[in-house]
Amino acid sequence: MNSEPGLLPVGPSVGWNVVHLFCRLRASNDERAGSPDGTQWRAGEVLEAIERARKSDHQIVTAAMIGHKADLCVLGLGPDLSVLRSLQTDLRQAGLEVVDSYVSLTEISEYASGVPEEMKQARLYPVLPPDGMPAFCFYPMSKRRSPGAENWYRLPYDDRLKLMHAHGAVGREFRGRVLQLVTGSTGLDDYEWGVTLFGVHPDDLKDCVYRMRFDEGSAVYAEFGPFYTGIVGDAEDVLHRLGVA
């Protein structure tokens, strides 16, 4: 692990830190700007920021976002939170405005303790992005705590385990079409999990989320936050899509 100079590494005892940074291009009046909107010269600085994080043993995934919520997603994951903090600072100084973000950790769910060791390692230390899956979406979610019957945390463990196994069975129907990364954020961000989906086609993501909402674990107990959708690519290609490289 290559931590930032002068900073002690900060990370979980098991697994990795994860941050989703949703950014918007910010215009500049700087005379160095190489294009009318003031963003062209910043492309090189964004690429340098990403490369610095990668050289510090962190994975960086970039996606050109669709819609008004953001222009760019920079997904960083790795062992040292200070590296991800520096990445965020470097992107801001390169002319990007972080308009939304999500902080979480890779984890092994309490309902997945019996999975093979290989699967556990893939969840704790994933290799991203997956090949051949350029469609991307992210959303946060929590389990309901309603005072009445819809309180996930009042259910006995065996009942929750049964519901989660049924939920997982639906997800496995999309193996080869969708890769799912579920990261834990209880105590770290506004929801309890962050869900990142990579798909072969955009409708693979749509079909997967639609189908999974019908199982009881989601239909009765799930609450969803905002969805972000984009196209995964190399950083240079993503910036080219944004018209700044």
The catalytic site residues sit at 139
- Among 18, 9, 13, 8, residue whose Cα is nearest residue 182: 18
Note whether 100 and 182 are within 8 A (CB): no
Beta-bridge partner residues of 230: 65, 136
Spatial CB neighbours of 109, under 8 Å, sequence gap ≥ 6: 164, 182
- Among 92, 112, 93, 80, residue whose Cα is nearest residue 21: 92
Note whether 171 and 212 are within 8 A (CB): yes
CA distance 77 to 175: 23
CA distance 110 to 106: 13
Note whether 39 and 27 are within 8 A (CB): yes
CA distance 195 to 181: 6
CA distance 229 to 187: 25
- Among 165, 231, 174, residue whose Cα is nearest residue 207: 174
